[in-house]
Amino acid sequence: MGVLFVGAWSQQMGTAVATFVDYPVAAHVAALGGHAVSYAGTDPSFSVNNPASLTTQSDKLLFFNYSVYMVGTGYGSAMYATKFSDKDAFAGSFQFAQYGSMSGYDEHGNATGDFSAQDFAINATYSRQLNKYFTVGVTLKPVLSTYETYTSFSLGADIGMLFNDTTHLVSAGLSLRNFGGRVAGPEDIYMTSTWMPINLSIGVTKRFSKAPFGLSLTLQNLQKWDYERASNESDLKPITAGEAFARKIILGIDIVPKSEKFWIALGYNFDRGFSLANPYVFSVAGLTGGFGVKIKMVQLGAAVAFYNTAAVTGHFSVAIDINQCSKKSL
């Protein structure tokens, strides 16, 4: 099962190191297509996509997420967000991915026993509101990977900017994620690359004063244009410029009332749709959806993301408002 999990993601991420840092870390993010850089609100989990999305509204929030892919495989995260001042915010988070038990063989095909594989990352995010409209942020992320007896250490960084016009209900984001790579460890773990999966993204979100929903458009991986498509088992055929651009697009729509008591979201990730769809049968690859509800100081969220007919990821999130817990205890 673990091999299937890694294989499905590798179709999207290629041969970069520590690709798990690009996995969606929350139900709301996953429901909007898995990547959103223009979110402006109180949910700190969006800062994993754009560190500038972390604002002082996310004060003393404790956040947990776990995502299930197949039996024995999954990934999760934990985050704590707080503010230092009216303009400065900080979040610390921990991410992990475990790929289940795998069978090992030597070069002669002899079984060497089962082994496991895990990835771990610690993220430190800082953001500062520059003025009424602009916020900037940065994240540093050391990553530890253990595959069988091999250990690798990588170091990466994210930078981002968020524009938020509360008068016209428009927000826009720009982020450069995973700038960095492996700094220690054997090269044969990752075969061809020492770089993390760099992702340059821009996005815009429009909300409406008379309707509780928002429309989001994200363009991801703007640094990458050399896509190829397998036309048969032994031939790779370059795709057209139009399809290359379409693969950048992630569309999302969510319903969030002013009270933020609940949310409902749908999304479509075109890159997943092109990369993982089965050309011979109807496919929902790329489609995402989810919902969340706030019950007093606790927020619950759940989402599903379709990768192909055999691969569906479930995302489950819990957020706890420590401020409300403290007020209630008083």
Q: pLDDT tens track of the chain, all 330 residues?
A: 333 333 333 334 445 777 888 888 899 999 999 999 999 988 999 999 999 999 888 888 999 999 987 767 889 999 999 999 999 999 999 999 988 777 777 777 888 778 888 899 999 999 999 999 999 999 999 999 888 778 889 999 999 999 999 999 999 999 999 999 888 876 654 445 688 889 999 999 999 998 999 999 999 999 988 766 654 444 556 778 888 899 999 999 999 988 889 999 999 999 988 887 776 667 788 999 999 999 989 999 999 999 866 678 999 999 999 877 656 555
CA dihedral 237, 240, 246, 247 (to 10 degrees): 20
Closest CA to 83 of 118, 119, 123, 42: 42
Residue type, 29: V
CA distance 29 to 204: 15
- CA 159: distance to chain centroid? 15
Report pLDDT for 4: 34
State the number of CA atoms in the 13 A half-sphere of 100 facing the CB: 15
Closest CA to 115 of 130, 100, 96, 137: 100
CA distance 293 to 207: 20
* Cβ pair 109, 95 in contact under 8 A: no
Reported as a single tens digit per residue, the pLDDT across 259-287 is: 889 999 999 999 988 887 776 667 788 99
* Cβ pair 263, 26 in contact under 8 A: no
Reported as a single tens digit per residue, the pLDDT across 67-125 is: 987 767 889 999 999 999 999 999 999 999 988 777 777 777 888 778 888 899 999 99
Q: For residue 54, give every residue at least 6 positions away whose Cβ sits within 8 Å of its Cβ, in sequence order, or none.
A: 44, 46, 47, 81, 89, 90, 91, 125, 127, 137
Cross-strand partners of 101: 116
pTM for the complete prediction? 0.86
* Backbone dihedral region for residue 169 (phi beyond 0: left; psi -120 to 50: alpha; all else: beta): left
CA distance 91 to 261: 23
- CA 165: distance to chain centroid? 25
Q: For residue 218, give every residue at least 6 positions away whose Cβ sits within 8 Å of its Cβ, in sequence order, or none.
A: 33, 35, 36, 37, 38, 201, 202, 203, 249, 250, 251, 252
Query: Domains of the chain, with CATH numbers?
Result: 2-329 (2.40.160.60)
